[in-house]
Structure formats: C-alpha cells, structure tokens
Chain A
C-alpha cells in the first residue's frame, strides 16, 4: 500500500465573492524583529507612505511562526498573510 502524504494541491476553487463597496483588504504581516520589523520601522523613519491595510505582528524570529498562527488569522477573517524575515 502506498500512502503518499502530499496530495497534489488542487488549484484553489475560491468562489469569487462580490466585495462590499466599503471593503478594504485586511492584510496581516508577520515580521521578524531583527530584519523585517526593523525594515518597517525604517520605512516609518523615512516617512514612506504604504498601504494602510497592513497590520504588523512582531515575532522574535520568523522561526517562532507556527502553522496555527496563520490559520488562526484566516479563521478570524483576514484576507491575506505575509511573513517577512
């Protein structure tokens, strides 16, 4: 018997939802304290304007990230998550 752990990822069949008129993307950024978070800080110091949709969670290191953190964010209704480090 062959038990393959990886099923081929079926291309996401996301049923497109009509966005409400006042919809703005809600994006979560998981950032490493020492690189990406510092970069975000620098962006602030440089007075760079960037998307207000991004909410940042500072991690001590991206190694701290767990599957569950990302899943939990989606459960609560974020539209996208990126990890930076």
Chain B
C-alpha cells in the first residue's frame, strides 16, 4: 500500500486559512492503514483546524468528509455535495488521489494534506517499511523474494557490495543488508546454487525514467 505522512498543521493551515469553506477530505484505503489520511484522520484534522480558526478569530467554515479511494471515479458520488460546497479541498490522499481530484474537478482548488512517502508494508502495528519501488520489472524470482531494488541502498542486483558489514548496510548499521538477507534465505531454502547465477543488466526502461507509465486494458475501455 501507499504510505504517507501528514504535513505539519502549520503548513496545511497556511494553504487553506484564507478560504471561506474548506473541506478536509479523507481517503480511506492505503493512507488510512498508516493512520495518516483516512476519514477518521480527516475528522480529527478538521476539528484541530476549527480550533485554530477560533483562536485566530477567522470565520472560515471547515468540514470533513471522505471516501474509500480518491483515485477512482466510482467512489466520489457520495461526497459530491461536500466537494461542491467547498471552495478549497484539503485532500488527505496520496499524490495520486490529489491529482485525480484535480483532473476530476478542474474548477476546485485541491491541496495536499500529506507527504506521500513510499510503497510499504505493515511490518508490525505502527511500523511501516518500504518494500517496493514499482520498477516495472520484478526481480523477486531471482532474489529469494527479497527486493534489492527497494531494500538495498544502492539497488545492486549482484550483491552484496563491499559495504555490507556483519549483515548491516554501510549507510546505517540498523539497516539490514538486503543481499545478506537474500543469501541467508537462499541458504535456508537449500538453494544457494541460485546465487551463482549472475543477474543480467536490468532493463530500467520500465522504471519511471522513461516518463509516467500507463497500463491499458482495451477490453475495459469501451
């Protein structure tokens, strides 16, 4: 899922405080899991902003609303009235959701309430860690299911590098060396022979360097 983090309230407040009707708009899928941008967080942020408005003697009206996903047309219907009411929307979705709203409502000002951080997993309650870079050409089959593109600081495909030290990465000793993890897992699975196969030069054209990417299913586009 996509992991994001709420911007400091001072920053978002500065974006919206001069409007008269502000909608804090939650996105209840990915960013709700990391407790930053769901409908509940929207409710809380709207309340905090109302307290700020009161203290600053401003008379703007702040409401909250939210939908399941701000990156799909289907979900917007239930919130259409709220969005039309507002003259500025503070979206708590990831960058995808914010831009989707901009495309869908070209006449409404949409501001980002989150900093979108990475694609990650819920390692344990409260801990979210990056684990995919969406490079467009998955190498997990060759790397014991552990991704060196996202988990090795250098994205080395034939590792480890010389900076691997007692299982830790040279950039931070609390960061496990992805290649150490790969070798350990191959060993545990009795598949160390796989490690001897050199990875060919990776085709990075599927990564973002080739510009924004698209996936097309013509059969659904009728």
Measured CB to CB, the residues of A under 8 A from B are 1, 3, 5, 7, 67-68, 71-72, 74-75
Contact = CB atoms under 8 A, between A and B. Distances in A.
Given A68-B47, A71-B44, A71-B47, A1 B118 contact: yes
A61 B3 CA distance: 32
Given A1-B118, A3-B115, A5-B34, A68 B43 contact: yes
B51 A74 contact: yes
B21 interface: no
Interface residues of B, number: 21
Interface of B: 3-5, 8, 34-36, 40, 43-44, 47-48, 50-51, 54, 115, 117-118, 126, 128, 130
B117 A3 contact: yes
A5 B36 contact: yes
A75 B115 contact: no
A71 B41 CA distance: 12
A68 B4 CA distance: 22
A75 B50 contact: yes
